[in-house]
Structure 1
C-alpha cells in the first residue's frame, strides 16, 4: 500500500536559530528522482548540508537537512516536490526517465508583461528578476527602454510554472507583487498572451563570441578554461566494486558549492545510473564526503573499464566546472559570457540569471544588454527608435555545442557607467563566486 500524497513530502521547519530544516520525501522510485528533488530544493534557494537516500528498487526514501532564507515558502516547496513524485501506479517497476522521450511536450504559453518604472538603477534588473522568480515566472526575454519623459518601460516575456497566468486572479496577484517589490518605482503593468512572432524568435540560434571556442565546452576537460578560485578546490573520486557484491561504491570528496548534490545526481541521471543508497556529509572548512551505492539501469554493477573512467572524468569536471564564466571583448565593449549544460531530460540549471544580476548589482555594474541564444541582427543596440532608447535586451534559450545542449548567456556591460572601473578578472570571479555560492568565503 502506498502513501497518501500529503505523506509523500514532510517538511520539518527549524525550531530555533542554528537548527536545520528537514525535508523528507517518501515515494515510488525511478531513475533520476533524487536529481529532480535536489533541483527543486536548489530552485527554492536552499542549501543541503546533509542527506541520505535509500531505495529497495520500488520505493525510495530521501531526507535532506537544509538551510536558506527565512522567508522560504515551505507550503509551495512541498507542493512542488509532491508534483514530481511518481504516481503509485509506477511502483511495479523503476521508470527510466528516457522512456517518454518520444512524447513531445506541449510548449508552455508565453506571456508579455509590460510595465513602467519611474527610475532606473544598477540593481533594478535584479529586483525585477527576483520578483518574477518569487512568482514562479520564468524569464524568456526582457527589453528595457527609456521613454522621452524618463520612465523605464520593461517588456518581459515569461512562461508560468503554475500555468495560471491566463486567469484574471493570477494576473492581478502578479501586478500586486511587482508593485510591492518595486515600491514607488512601479507605475503600471499590462499582461497579455505573446504573439506568434515572439514565439518563433525564442528559438533563435547564437554563434559563439570571439575568443570562446568549443574546446571550452569539452565535458571531459575544458581546454582554455581555468579559474584560480575553482582550481583551489580539488575533487577526489573513486569507484569500488569489491565492497558490495551487488553495487558499485562511488566515493567523492570535494568542496561544497551551490547545487553540489544536484550536480552529482544530474550527472548520474544522464548516465542512466540508479542510486540505491546515498550519504552526503559536510565536514569542517566546507569539505563534503559523498558515498553512493549505484547500479546501471539493468541492475548490474558498473564493470566496463571505459564506462568507469568516463563516469569519473565527467563527474570530476561537472563538480570542478559546472558553469563557464568568461569576461571578454565584443567589439569595443566588455561582454560577460555564462553557460551551463542542460540535463538530457531538458531541465536547465536553476537561478543562473538571478545570480548573474545579483552579482552585477553587488558590483554596482550596469547591464547594457543581455543576449542569450538569439539572432543579433533582429535588434538595434544603442540606438534611439521613435525617441525611445533601448537599454537592455534579455533572451534565454538553448545552444547545441559538441552534441550537448547548453544554456548560454551573453551580457554586454555598460562601460559608459561612471562606476565601471573594475578589472575584468574581478568581474569574472565575482559572478562565478555568486553562481557557485563562494561569495561569503
Structure 2
C-alpha cells in the first residue's frame, strides 16, 4: 500500500445500515497524530470499529472504520484563547434531565462548556451559570445570542424565567471558580497509581487486558500488542498515552469484534527513531497503558457533609486537552436515572504530577428518593464507557 504525498481527508458513507463509514486521512506525520485524530473522531460521537495506520516517517496514511454518529461538538484550536461568555438562566423549578437537555442544546449549537455552576434556591427555583466559548466566534452578536436563547426556550419551555448572555470579565470568571480543594481521602482512592484488582465491568482486571512489547519481529520497531475489552474512546486512550510518552507509530492495525473484545497491533519507536529496548521503559509504558485502559476515567460516589456527591475525573493530556463530551454523558446518565442535580463544580487539579479535570456533582436528595450509590456509579460508568 503506497503513500500519496498529498493532504487528503476522505469520508465514504456506509452503503447500507449496519455497515461502517470509512474515514481516510493522508497527511504529514508527527508524534501524537493518532491521538489528535482519535480525539476528533470521539468528539464527533463516532466509535472506531477497525483501523489501519502506515507511515514512512514523514507522511502518514490512516484508515478508520467508524459508526455511531449521534451528536457532535466541533472544537478546533484557536489562534488565540477564545472569549468566555456567561450564560445565565433562571427556571421556576428543577426537573430530571434539565441540565442534560441544556448541555445537549449547547453541543448542537457548537458552544463548548468550560465551567458550570448550578444552584437551587429554597423556593425550588434553579439558577444555572454556564461559562462557554463559541466555536463560531459569534456569541458577541445579537443574532447568535437570540439563536441560543431561542433553542434553550424551546427545550425548557414554560419552566424558563429568563436567560442572559454576557461577556465574562476576569472578575466574573474568578468569582465562579469552584473549590480547588479535594480531600486527601478522595485523592488516595480515586487517583491511586496502583492497578486495581477489578475491572469496572466487575471482572478480574488481569483477565481482561494484556499489554506486551515484542522486539523480535522488526529490526527497527517494537511491536506493541494489546488485547482488552472494548470501550468508548479506547483507541483515543491508547493514542493519548503514546503521545504523552513521545512514542511514534509507524504501522498499526486495530479491530473490535461484536463480542466487545479489541485487538491492537502497533509498530512503534521512540522519538529518536530507536526501538524500546530498556526493560524499565517497557514496563513503565505497559503499566501506564494497563492503567489507562482499565480506568480511563475515575468515577466515585462520596459523602459531602450530609449530602451525596458524584465525582468524575477526566485525565488531561500533556498538551492540555481532555476527553470530550464527558459532561454530556454524565448528565445523560443522571437523566436516565431520574436523578436531579443540585450543584456542579468543574475544575482542574494537579495530582501525583498529572492534571485532571474533575467534575463534582452534588445530587438533589430533597424528596429522599435518591437511588443507591452503587446503582448511580454503575450507570454513569457504563454511559462514559459506552457499555449500553
Same fold judged by TM-score > 0.5?
yes
Looking at structure 2, the residues matched to 411 and 277 of structure 1 have their Cα atoms a distance apart, in angstroms, of 42
Runs of 5+ unmatched residues, structure 1: 85-103, 372-395
- Whether contact under 8 Å (1:235, 1:253) holds in the other structure is yes
Give, in angstroms, the shift of residue 358 of structure 1. 1.0
Query: How many pairs align?
Result: 384
Which of 417, 428, 437 is matched with 2:367 structurally? Answer: 417
Give, in angstroms, the shift of residue 305 of structure 1. 0.9
- 1:202–1:303 CA distance, 2 compared to 1 (3 A): farther
> What residue number does 2:281 align with?
307
- 1:61–1:146 CA distance, 2 compared to 1 (3 A): same
Looking at structure 2, the residues matched to 105 and 397 of structure 1 have their Cα atoms a distance apart, in angstroms, of 24
- 1:417–1:56 CA distance, 2 compared to 1 (3 A): farther
TM norm structure 1: 0.80
Which of 427, 435, 438 is matched with 2:376 structurally? Answer: 427
Which of 345, 354, 359 is matched with 1:404 structurally? Answer: 354
Runs of 5+ unmatched residues, structure 2: none
The answer to whether structure 1 residue 111 and structure 2 residue 107 are counterparts is: no
Looking at structure 2, the residues matched to 224 and 313 of structure 1 have their Cα atoms a distance apart, in angstroms, of 14
Give, in angstroms, the shift of residue 333 of structure 1. 1.2
> What residue number does 1:27 align with?
27
Looking at structure 2, the residues matched to 348 and 153 of structure 1 have their Cα atoms a distance apart, in angstroms, of 27
Which of 227, 233, 251 is matched with 1:259 structurally? Answer: 233
Looking at structure 2, the residues matched to 131 and 48 of structure 1 have their Cα atoms a distance apart, in angstroms, of 25
- 1:200–1:367 CA distance, 2 compared to 1 (3 A): same
> What residue number does 2:301 align with?
327
Looking at structure 2, the residues matched to 432 and 147 of structure 1 have their Cα atoms a distance apart, in angstroms, of 30
> What residue number does 2:61 align with?
61
Higher mean C-alpha displacement, 262-271 vs 37-46: 37-46
Which of 3, 8, 29 is matched with 2:6 structurally? Answer: 3
Give, in angstroms, the shift of residue 209 of structure 1. 3.2
Looking at structure 2, the residues matched to 25 and 210 of structure 1 have their Cα atoms a distance apart, in angstroms, of 45
Higher mean C-alpha displacement, 269-278 vs 425-434: 425-434
Q: What is the CA deviation profile of residues 109-157 of structure 1, one whole-angstrom value per residue up to 9, with x for unaligned ones?
A: 2101123445431110110111112222222333445689976443321
- Whether contact under 8 Å (1:364, 1:419) holds in the other structure is no
- 1:227–1:34 CA distance, 2 compared to 1 (3 A): closer
> What residue number does 2:49 align with?
49
Secondary structure of the residue that 2:334 maps to in structure 1?
helix
- 1:68–1:284 CA distance, 2 compared to 1 (3 A): closer
Looking at structure 2, the residues matched to 171 and 199 of structure 1 have their Cα atoms a distance apart, in angstroms, of 19
> What residue number does 1:229 align with?
202
Looking at structure 1, the residues matched to 258 and 215 of structure 2 have their Cα atoms a distance apart, in angstroms, of 29
Q: What is the CA deviation profile of residues 352-397 of structure 1, one whole-angstrom value per residue up to 9, with x for unaligned ones?
A: 11111111111111111122xxxxxxxxxxxxxxxxxxxxxxxx22
- 1:187–1:52 CA distance, 2 compared to 1 (3 A): farther
- Whether contact under 8 Å (1:215, 1:224) holds in the other structure is no
Higher mean C-alpha displacement, 306-315 vs 349-358: 349-358
Q: What is the CA deviation profile of residues 34-82 of structure 1, one whole-angstrom value per residue up to 9, with x for unaligned ones?
A: 111110111111111111111111111111111114x556xx86xx6xx
TM norm structure 2: 0.90
Looking at structure 2, the residues matched to 363 and 325 of structure 1 have their Cα atoms a distance apart, in angstroms, of 16
The answer to whether structure 1 residue 129 and structure 2 residue 129 are counterparts is: no
Higher mean C-alpha displacement, 153-162 vs 281-290: 153-162
- 1:349–1:417 CA distance, 2 compared to 1 (3 A): farther
Give, in angstroms, the shift of residue 336 of structure 1. 1.1
- Whether contact under 8 Å (2:120, 2:343) holds in the other structure is no
Higher mean C-alpha displacement, 410-419 vs 237-246: 410-419
- 1:38–1:49 CA distance, 2 compared to 1 (3 A): same
